[in-house]
């Protein structure tokens, strides 16, 4: 399971699945060790690719997973994000993307992923608990 923080972006990029061609992808998030992107092409899990990073140049990676038109890859060598010129997304855009991803997870029957997204969404909501609104403990033996 991934533990590092990813920077949410929404940037077009060129991905080279081999030495003689490239495809357009949309990078959705990025960390020093990997990225998540989407594209119409069928990128194969286990394949080596090269992602052109705006401001940082090409970075080689291995595709580690794919679901529908989205995939994730791990960089062969960690990158320095400070040299990348992509702009992180604001919190509202990140939250709306998670809501959309949760709906897609539900539709495709990926209920574990849906629950994980629900947890992230609840943690990202810009709300504070209201004093006195905490749930009351149930009394044993009596009616609620």
Span 96-105, average pLDDT: 79
| Residues 31-77: tens digit of each pLDDT | 999 999 999 988 999 999 999 988 778 999 999 999 888 999 999 99
What is the pLDDT, as a whole number, of residue 141?
55
Q: How many helices (H) and strands (E) does the chain have?
A: 2, 6
What is the pLDDT, as a whole number, of residue 129?
60
Cβ atoms 63, 44 nearer than 8 A: yes
What is the pLDDT, as a whole number, of residue 19?
83
What is the pLDDT, as a whole number, of residue 142?
52
Q: Who's near 4: CB < 8 A, 6+ residues apart?
A: 31, 32, 33
Burial label for 72, CB within 10 Å (0-12, 13-18, 19+), is: buried
């Amino acid at each position: 399971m991934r533990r590092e923080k990813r920077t949410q972006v929404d940037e077009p990029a060129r991905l080279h699945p081999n030495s003689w061609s490239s495809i357009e992808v949309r990078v959705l998030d990025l960390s020093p060790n990997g990225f998540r992107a989407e594209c119409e092409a069928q990128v194969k899990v286990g394949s080596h690719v090269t992602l052109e990073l705006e401001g940082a140049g090409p970075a080689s990676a291995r595709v580690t997973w794919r679901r529908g038109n989205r995939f994730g890859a791990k960089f062969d060598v960690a990158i320095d994000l400070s040299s990348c010129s992509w702009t992180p997304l604001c919190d509202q855009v990140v939250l709306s993307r998670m809501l959309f991803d949760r709906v897609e997870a539900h539709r495709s029957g990926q209920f574990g992923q849906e629950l994980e997204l629900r947890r992230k969404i609840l943690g990202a909501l810009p709300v504070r608990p209201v004093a006195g609104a905490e749930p009351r403990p149930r009394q044993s033996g009596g009616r609620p």
